[in-house]
Structure 1
Amino acid sequence: MAQGVDHPPHITLDGTPLEIVDHFCYLGSTTTSNLCNNKEIDTRIGRAASNFGKLSTRVWRNNKLTITTKILVYKTCVLNTLLYGSETWTTYSKQERRLNAFHMRCLRVILGVTWKDRVTNEAVLSKTNCNSILATLKQRRLRWLGHVHRMDTERLPREVMLGQIADAKRRVGRPNLRFKDCCKRDMDSFNINANSWETRANERLLWRRDLRAGTAIYDEAWLDNIKQKRLRIKNAAPVVDPRFTCDKCGKKCRAAIGLFSHKRKCLRH
């Protein structure tokens, strides 16, 4: 795999040419040539879904186990598989939404809740006593940042993560998101001062306490934002297209499928 070259290199080993690939798996994580985490997230979701399905009969549908026990099994066998290596991920909003959708779907299956029950995400997280996947992802990323910061200055992970390339220039336009950009965004979400985080991270217990408090702050703000968005949608005036009007009773529908369903009932009565 090569990066930043117009023509891929030709490398042979004992006379056998090596295959040119754009991604490969190393130590359980997928590395890509375009620095995108989509393949890694696809792999993580697939393996977590496989583990979740294997435990369906023995755990999730077992009426003899309490919700607390099922959540402990879920966090150990499914959630850790889903977020393996996530401490170093540089994630975009679309990728985080995919992880959150899988997380909420699993929790609803554990509780036996379907979409027909009209149960909100706030209620699901409250019943399972779980954090949102976004808060968990941010917490893991900042814990890893503090761990690397406490390393000796000669350690390679610290030099790579906290170092900078001399005289480097980024391309014109919106650049790719960097790991430190995600960390700054996470600190802002957790109400951690980005200018003095090194002092807090030097004390491991103090840094862990700040992250636990930040997780609660982020989840509260995130759930409140979802609630306000739901209220805005509920109170908004419906947009009615005059094309979708019943010829018989004059009822106005919002979409063609709604008009089709209404006409069947209207003609029947």
Structure 2
Amino acid sequence: MRMLRWSADVTLLDKIRNEYIRGSFKVAPITEKLKEKRLRWFGHIQRRPDDHMIKLALNMPTTKRTRGRPPATWLTTVQKDLKSALLSPDEAQDRANWRTKTRKADPK
């Protein structure tokens, strides 16, 4: 965000919101870009053969956790992203369709 403010010649003292600056440069929020990249990588993994090391590592059981809220894993985060984007893991097999459904972060 600092770089965008610098290139727009805007300081924090000007009291211009980050959303307005991002909109003027047509840049998506970082959280949306991260979600897009996670889903892109998940689709890459899903298209791998079932005996590939990465797919086997994803299906490994986790160890018993201590009391309290369990820490968020990469897979649980991806599952939340899939749910919010209304996607299923089986759709990743069609690469072109997967790309069109997951690449929505950049505003036009």
Report the TM-score range of the alignment, normalised by the length of the smaller protein.
Answer: 0.7 to 0.9
CA distance in 2, matches of 1:185, 1:105: 29
Structure 1 vs Structure 2 CA RMSD: 2.0
Q: 1:181 aligns with which of 76, 88, 93?
A: 76
Matches within 5 A, 1:21-170: 104-161=1-58, 163-165=59-61, 168-170=63-65
Alignment TM-score, normalising by the size of structure 2: 0.86
Match of 2:103 in 1: 212
Match of 2:86 in 1: 192
Residue 149 of structure 1, CA deviation: 0.6
AA partner of residue 56 (structure 2): E
Residue 171 of structure 1, CA deviation: 2.1
CA distance in 1, matches of 2:77, 2:48: 21
CA distance in 1, matches of 2:66, 2:93: 34
Residue 141 of structure 1, CA deviation: 0.8
- List gaps (5 residues or longer) in structure 2: none
Alignment size in residue pairs: 107
Instruction: Name the CA shift for 1:105/1:188 in 2 (closer, same or farther; >3 Å).
Output: farther
Residue 175 of structure 1, CA deviation: 1.4
- List gaps (5 residues or longer) in structure 1: 1-103, 220-269
- Give structure 1 regions of 4+ aligned residues with deviation exceeding 4 angstroms: none
CA distance in 1, matches of 2:67, 2:28: 38
SS at match of 2:97: helix
Greater strand share, 1 or 2? 1
**1:63-103 per-position Cα deviation (integer Å, ceiling 9, x unaligned):** xxxxxxxxxxxxxxxxxxxxxxxxxxxxxxxxxxxxxxxxx
Match of 1:9 in 2: none
Residue 151 of structure 1, CA deviation: 0.4
Alignment TM-score, normalising by the size of structure 1: 0.37
**1:112-142 per-position Cα deviation (integer Å, ceiling 9, x unaligned):** 1111222112211111111111111111111
Kindly name which structure, 1 or 2, has the bigger radius of gyration based on alpha carbons.
Answer: 1
Identity %: 29
